[in-house]
Amino acid sequence: MKLWKKKISVNKQVEKFTIGKDRELDLLLAEHDVTGSMAHAKMLAQVGLLKKSVRQKLHKELKNILQNIKAGRFKIEQGTEDIHSQIEFLLTKKLGNIGKQIHTARSRNDQVLLDVVLFSRTEIKTIVRQAHPLFSLLIQLSEKHKKKLLPGYTHLQVAMPSSFGLWFGAYAESIKEDIEFLFSVYGIINKNPLGSAAGYGTSLPIKRKITTQLLGFDGMNHNSVYAQMTRGRTEKLVSTAMALLASTLAKMAMDICLFMNQNFGFVSFPENLTTGSSIMPHKKNPDVFELIRGKCNRLQTVPQQMTSVISNLPSGYHREFQLLKEIYFPAFGELKDCLTMMNFMLRQIQAKDNIMSAKSGSASGGKDEKYKHIFSVDAVNELVKKGIPFRDAYKRVGEDIASDNFIIPKNITYTHEGSIGNLQNSEIRKEMNGIMRKFNQKFRKVDSVLGRLLK
């Protein structure tokens, strides 16, 4: 069944190629297509383009379809082109000509625009609800292990003293800013494209403000041509925010892979969370983190994949937009899986203590030799405190290191904001709470409005 079917049948090979994976991927849009249709029908009734009794029948049947979707009983039948065709077919099958009226004053173009925005809005909510507990866990781990020193590196060379508190807290703040960026993107995409039809509006007297309010949008895409231009733009904006969060997870996964390595030995996990080797019985491989790293690196390519599809397209609708679904929709599941596993694994992480202290059996009782010079900057700073110019202090400590006369200063303290001794976790948490309050206000608004629509 095709909404655009004419007298001449399309070649089967052409039909198969042009439909692509729409039937499979459009199932993810099913609930949103029904919701959009409910709002559209209510608007049509309010402006006099549908009789009230017709709207009530459509709404009742749309609710039945929605229940089947949520129960997993819905499918897009063979021979039906997409989700929009399937829902209109079901309405027409049950209600006759009344079902055909649902398409009044809209196109599949603005239908899919709307579905993608509603889908994206829902998926963002899920991602935020998964990322926030991970943020809280990282803050907890930062506080729990804040007194455990950890070598800091530049160029993968031992550089300056860090701590587990600083390391866990860094990723907490990174996720906080990823969520802040996602909030900005949510605000940009949370606008109503419905009513732009094929991209040039309609001569029927619809009122787009009605559907904007019914669907809980912050506003609308005012210009109908621009509304059509948001196809691809919406997906690219959201996938860019997802890529930013994925980059945080990938970097942390890489750190953990290094830190689990025996040459580092900073963290470990229960053996049942690691995997073995088919030939080496001693292996405890960080497969989970390697897969998080790989999946999140792949997620970072999604915006570039979007660009490769849409970069040279003029305004108006083009069939290439269909290809975006194949790139965009699976990305959400992959990111959510990575968030779930990172949260699960970090709850089991074991942070080693006394990493930079003497190795067991050391006669000197001094620091582990490879970390001896990690306190060189602190030695320079001690001289600076005594009034010696920094460059002269730097030269003196450098000479002590070269002549093997370097002595680690005692009672080193870090007090400034964001340092080992002043992690600023409460400030980071406060900022995150502010972002979550704003997000939750938007989520509550949408839930409340859609709840009323679905009654």
- Percent with pLDDT over 90 in the chain: 81
CA within 13 Å, CB half, 203: 0
Question: Encoding tokens for residue 382?
Answer: 């001690």
User: What is the per-residue pLDDT for 367?
Assistant: 60
pTM as predicted: 0.91
Local confidence band at 81 (pLDDT 50, 70, 90 cut-offs)? confident
User: What is the per-residue pLDDT for 361?
Assistant: 35
Question: Encoding tokens for residue 146?
Answer: 């804040």
Residue 362 reports pLDDT greater than 80 = no
Q: Which residues contact 196 (CB under 8 A, 6 or more apart)?
A: 109, 110, 113, 221, 224, 225, 227, 228
Question: Encoding tokens for residue 207?
Answer: 């009122």
User: What is the per-residue pLDDT for 455?
Assistant: 86
Residue 2 reports pLDDT greater than 60 = no
Sorted by where each starts, the structural domains of the chain and their CATH numbers stand as: 12-103 (1.10.275.10), 108-352+424-454 (1.20.200.10)
Closest to 195 (Cα-Cα) out of 36, 401, 32: 36
Mean pLDDT of 347-354: 95
Q: How would you write 382-415 as a 3-class SS string?
A: HHHHCCCCHHHHHHHHHHHHHCCCCCCCCCCCCC
